[in-house]
């Protein structure tokens, strides 16, 4: 690119540089690419940053096979990545049905990216994605975790573009001469996220004024920060779970403790709802002879009397038990 650096490109590079600042030279970094504007833009600016930081960069183009011609979309993405100096492979995934098509596609995508052997995998979620995630979580009404959104760094996964609007990724692509693919599912009203994107967000902007997406993203950051503190405090509550100790805890902290122990016992986090946690809480605060509580993942919880008092026990339920 000749002339002055495009402001969107400069912003994108700075975001990626910050996201990868802790990685040493030679670290293997993989960008997950769909062929859409967000992921192509991420690959473009990451190529620049990785070259100067001597990072081992590659891309995995994920072909979900959900539309006719998806193999052609993947091939075009590889061709454009090659033009950016990013070596790429295509991985075709089989999308199951568990949790619905969106969740199943996400699971399949993450599995193939996790199997890449990378030290860090970059995902191209934007501020718009974060705002949509918060609204969808709010609609589920399953507690603070549902509106905490996505973390910029979550173990293997890194999301440098969370502060960037979707329009910025399209401008980065234009500045690099990249042609992106628009997933028809993104405008399909059969998908809840598509309706939030195409109908709810524009309505909120119209009624509440500009800046709604940014406000939702800030809310997610604040909720997530509070959640981290509560998780740290919950980790300090030792096992076994004495009922008297639990009853003395603030409700928000008690809920975190119960969730932590349930997950450690084998409960399925994605299926552990606020309803389950409320039932567990009643074993502590409103017990009137309830029998065991069954949690997803075949974990049962009972209130038992011991020589030292009363406690909760979490145990795996045998098949047929």
In a domain, 152, yes or no: no
Mean pLDDT per 10-residue segment, the chain (321 residues):
83 98 98 96 98 97 77 94 97 70 79 95 98 91 84 97 98 97 84 93 95 97 95 89 94 94 90 90 93 92 88 81 52
Boundary residue ending a domain (169, 187, 205):
187
Helix axes 166-176, 37-53, angle to 10 degrees: 70
Instruction: Please check if 35 is assigned to a binding site.
Output: yes
Instruction: For residue 153, count other CB atoms closer than 10 A to its CB.
Output: 12
What is the CATH classification number for the domain harbouring 74?
3.40.50.620
Judge if 21 and 120 occupy the same domain. Answer: yes
Judge if 255 and 178 occupy the same domain. Answer: no
* Cis preceding linkage at 240, omega within 30: yes
Judge if 173 and 75 occupy the same domain. Answer: yes
Judge if 183 and 244 occupy the same domain. Answer: no
In a domain, 217, yes or no: no
Q: Give the DSSP letter string of 44-70.
A: HHHHHHHHHHT-EEEEEEEE---STTH
pLDDT value for 319: 59
Judge if 24 and 96 occupy the same domain. Answer: yes
What is the CATH classification number for the domain harbouring 249?
3.30.465
Q: Which domain holds residue 270?
A: 238-316
Instruction: Please check if 242 is assigned to a binding site.
Output: no
Phi then psi dihedrals of residue 192, to 5 deg: -60, -45
Instruction: Please check if 300 is assigned to a binding site.
Output: no
Cβ atoms of residues 299 and 265 within 8 Å = yes
In a domain, 138, yes or no: no
pLDDT value for 309: 86
Using left for φ > 0, alpha for ψ between -120 and 50, and beta otherwise, residue 156 falls in alpha
Cβ atoms of residues 154 and 215 within 8 Å = no
Judge if 180 and 244 occupy the same domain. Answer: no
Cβ atoms of residues 296 and 271 within 8 Å = yes
Judge if 82 and 22 occupy the same domain. Answer: yes
In a domain, 279, yes or no: yes
Cβ atoms of residues 186 and 197 within 8 Å = yes
Instruction: Please check if 36 is assigned to a binding site.
Output: yes
Cβ atoms of residues 317 and 265 within 8 Å = no
Helix axes 127-140, 201-208, angle to 10 degrees: 90
Judge if 179 and 258 occupy the same domain. Answer: no
Closest CA relative to residue 255, chosen from 225, 270, 275? 275
In a domain, 97, yes or no: yes
What is the distance between the alpha carbons of residues 34 and 4, in angstroms, rounded to a whole number?
Answer: 29
pLDDT value for 1: 46
Give the pTM.
Answer: 0.86
Judge if 55 and 178 occupy the same domain. Answer: yes
- Could you give the number of structural domains in the chain? 2
Phi then psi dihedrals of residue 311, to 5 deg: -140, 170
Cβ atoms of residues 292 and 300 within 8 Å = yes
Instruction: Please check if 307 is assigned to a binding site.
Output: no
pLDDT value for 100: 64
Judge if 113 and 17 occupy the same domain. Answer: yes
Calculate Rg over the CA atoms of the chain. 23
Judge if 288 and 180 occupy the same domain. Answer: no
Give kind and range of the element (H or E) at residue 223: helix 212-235
Boundary residue ending a domain (187, 204, 230):
187
The structure tokens listed for 191 are 């998908």
In a domain, 137, yes or no: no
In a domain, 207, yes or no: no
Judge if 173 and 263 occupy the same domain. Answer: no
What is the distance between the alpha carbons of residues 83 and 243, in angstroms, rounded to a whole number?
Answer: 62
In a domain, 223, yes or no: no
């Amino acid at each position: 690119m000749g002339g002055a650096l495009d402001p969107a490109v400069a912003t994108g590079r700075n975001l990626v540089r910050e996201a990868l600042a802790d990685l040493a030279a030679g670290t293997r970094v993989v960008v997950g690419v769909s062929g859409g504007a967000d992921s192509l833009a991420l690959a473009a600016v990451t190529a620049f940053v990785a070259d100067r930081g001597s990072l081992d960069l590659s891309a995995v183009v994920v072909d979900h096979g959900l539309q006719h011609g998806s193999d052609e979309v993947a091939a075009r993405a590889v061709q454009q990545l090659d033009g950016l100096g990013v070596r790429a492979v295509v991985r075709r995934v089989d999308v199951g049905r568990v949790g619905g098509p969106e969740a199943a596609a996400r699971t399949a995508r993450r599995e193939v990216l996790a199997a890449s052997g990378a030290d860090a995998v970059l995902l191209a979620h934007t501020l718009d994605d974060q705002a949509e995630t918060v609204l969808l979580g709010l609609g589920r009404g399953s507690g603070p975790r549902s509106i905490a959104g996505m973390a910029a760094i979550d173990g293997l996964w890194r999301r440098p573009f969370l502060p960037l609007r979707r329009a910025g990724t399209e401008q980065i692509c234009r500045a690099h001469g990249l042609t992106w693919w628009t997933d028809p599912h993104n405008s399909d009203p059969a998908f809840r996220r598509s309706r939030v994107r195409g109908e709810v967000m524009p309505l909120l902007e119209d009624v509440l004024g500009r800046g709604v997406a940014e406000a939702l993203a800030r809310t997610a950051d604040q909720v997530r920060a509070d959640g981290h503190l509560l998780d740290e405090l919950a980790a300090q509550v030792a096992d076994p779970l004495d009922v008297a100790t639990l009853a003395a805890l603030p409700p928000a902290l008690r809920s975190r403790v119960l969730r932590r122990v349930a997950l450690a016992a084998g409960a399925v986090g994605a299926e552990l709802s606020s309803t389950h946690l409320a039932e567990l809480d009643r074993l502590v605060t409103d017990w009137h002879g309830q029998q065991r509580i069954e949690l997803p993942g075949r974990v049962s919880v009972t209130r038992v009397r011991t020589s030292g008092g009363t406690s909760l026990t979490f145990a795996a339920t045998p098949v047929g038990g």
